[in-house]
Structure 1
Amino acid sequence: MTTYLMAVLSPNLIFLIIGLTTFASIAYFVMISYIITQMDKRYFVRRNIIHKKMLYKRIINKKELEHKAADDVRGSSSKKLLKNSLGYVVSVLKIFVGLCLLLCGIAMLVLPGQGLLTILIGLSLLPFPGKNKLEQKLLSLKSVRASLNWIRAKANKDAFIFD
């Protein structure tokens, strides 16, 4: 008895699709596990502290820039231009990867995979207003916290500390 899928696709193509899907799922799980185990255990707590420090540094840097501009009237050097260009490229790549992970995570809500964890990682890479609130809402789910800490426990890492 043949099914519709076997009538439309050859058995070799079906086997190839199953093999590639299995390989992609394993590679994805390994990649996500590696990212989660490399994160600092205080990653989700540090955000508010880092944000306050960044605001303080911006105020100080603004004052330093005003003094430096008064002393230095030369144009920007090629090193500064290269550094800024590289920063833009990295930002664009970070946003692209974040969008891809977000879309894959949404698809994994109905397909096999770790959808909520993928959405969380994708959101952490994207810059948008309300990002911290949305991340905290996802982190308030017991299943997400348990999954994150389970992966860290398997790698003999300390559990995440949450707000």
Structure 2
Amino acid sequence: MLRSLTNLGDTPTRPHLLAALRRLYALNLALLGLPGLLIGVPLGLFTPAWSSLPALVGLCVAGLLCAVLALALAQQKMKAAIPGTPEGRDLAMSAAIQAASAPAAPLLMACTTLKEPLSLLALLTLTLLSGLVGWLLLGLWAGKAGLEEQRARAVAG
């Protein structure tokens, strides 16, 4: 799974960089989501149900803020990326790792609200949407940091 990361080189093409970013994103999402599930599910099962609507709304708003902040910080990191440079490649990889935390935060919050179907549904929807936005941003970042095929051949040759 990590072979695409180690064989990327200093000047990766856009398709190769996109494949590597997607693998890195998925790996980090799994690394963040698994402990969240292991902690959140027992917590959600063995704690009493919340009956306070403002607390549940606050939890959903906190999940939204965490996801938006993680994606905004990852996007901010990519502003300094220069296409076709090792620094641009490294910034894209760092941003992919950071973006994986966007769906992980609401997922943990969703696991703790297993006894509240409405907030569970809202937080799982937020988890899926923030994961999709992060996945789509990877394509933009690969386009910004990677080289086009023709330019890569000129640099290599």
TM-score, normalized by length of structure 2? 0.30
RCO higher in structure (CA 8 A, sep ≥6): 2
Larger Rg: 1
